[in-house]
Structure 1
Amino acid sequence: MNGPSCTSPTLISSILKNITRVASPDYVPSIDDILHARIQTMGVTEHIFDVNIHGKSVTWHLFDVGGARGQRHSWVPYFDDANAIIFVAPVSAFDQYLEEDPRTNRIDDSLQLFMQRCSNALLKNVRLVLFLNRTDLLKAKLDTGLKVRKYITSFSDRSNDYETVVQYFRAHFLQVHRRNNENRQVLYTHFTSVVDTKATQRIIGNVRDSIFRGYLQSAALV
Structure 2
Amino acid sequence: MFAKVWRAMIRKELNELRQRNEKIERELKKDEQILHNTIKILLLGCGEAGKSTFIKQMKIIHSSAEDTWSKEQLENFRDQIRRNVICSLQLLLRNKTRDLPIGFENNARKLEDLDEDRDQDKLHQHRVFIKEIWQHQALQETFRRRKDFHLPDSAAYFLQNIDRISGQDFVPTNQDILNIRVMTTDIHKYEFQVKLRGNIKNITMVDVGGQRSEQRKWLHCFDDVQLLIFLCASNEFDQKLLEDSAKNRLEESIEVFTKLMKHPWFKKSSIALFLNKKDLLQEKVKYSQLEDFFPGFREFKNYKPYDYDSAISYIQHLFMTIEDEQGKPLIGTERSVYSHHTCATDTDNIKTVFQQVKSSILEKIIRIHLL
TM-score normalized by structure 1? Answer: 0.83
Specify whether residues 79 and 205 from structure 1 end up closer, same or farther in structure 2 by C-alpha distance, changes over 3 A only: same
Unaligned runs of 5+ in 1: 1-5
Specify whether residues 32 and 50 from structure 1 end up closer, same or farther in structure 2 by C-alpha distance, changes over 3 A only: closer
User: Within 5 Å, which residues of 2 pair with 1:1-222?
Assistant: 9=141, 11=143, 14=156, 17-19=160-162, 22-23=165-166, 29-143=172-286, 145-156=287-298, 158-176=304-322, 179-181=329-331, 184-209=334-359, 210-219=361-370, 221=371
Counterpart contact for 1:83–1:215, Cα < 8 Å? no
Counterpart contact for 2:321–2:331, Cα < 8 Å? no
Paired residue type of 2:289: K
Unaligned runs of 5+ in 2: 1-96, 98-138, 145-154
Looking at secondary structure, tell me which structure has more strand per residue. 1
Task: Quote the Cα distance in structure 1 between the aligned partners of 2:290 and 2:164.
Answer: 31
Paired residue type of 2:368: Q
| % same residue | 27
Looking at secondary structure, tell me which structure has more helix per residue. 2
How many pairs does the alignment contain? 214
Paired residue type of 1:154: G
Task: Quote the Cα distance in structure 2 between the aligned partners of 1:60 and 1:214.
Answer: 12
Specify whether residues 146 and 211 from structure 1 end up closer, same or farther in structure 2 by C-alpha distance, changes over 3 A only: same
Q: SS of 1:184's equivalent?
A: coil
Specify whether residues 161 and 69 from structure 1 end up closer, same or farther in structure 2 by C-alpha distance, changes over 3 A only: same
1:119 Cα shift? 1.2
Counterpart contact for 2:282–2:308, Cα < 8 Å? yes
1:120 Cα shift? 1.4
Q: SS of 1:179's equivalent?
A: coil
Counterpart contact for 1:97–1:103, Cα < 8 Å? yes
Specify whether residues 14 and 215 from structure 1 end up closer, same or farther in structure 2 by C-alpha distance, changes over 3 A only: closer
Render the CA deviation track for 1:15-40: whole Å, top value 9, x for unaligned. Answer: 75455664455655454333322232
RMSD (Å) for aligned C-alpha atoms: 2.7
Which residue is equivalent to 1:3? Answer: none
Which has more radius of gyration?
2
1:149 Cα shift? 2.4
Q: SS of 1:75's equivalent?
A: helix
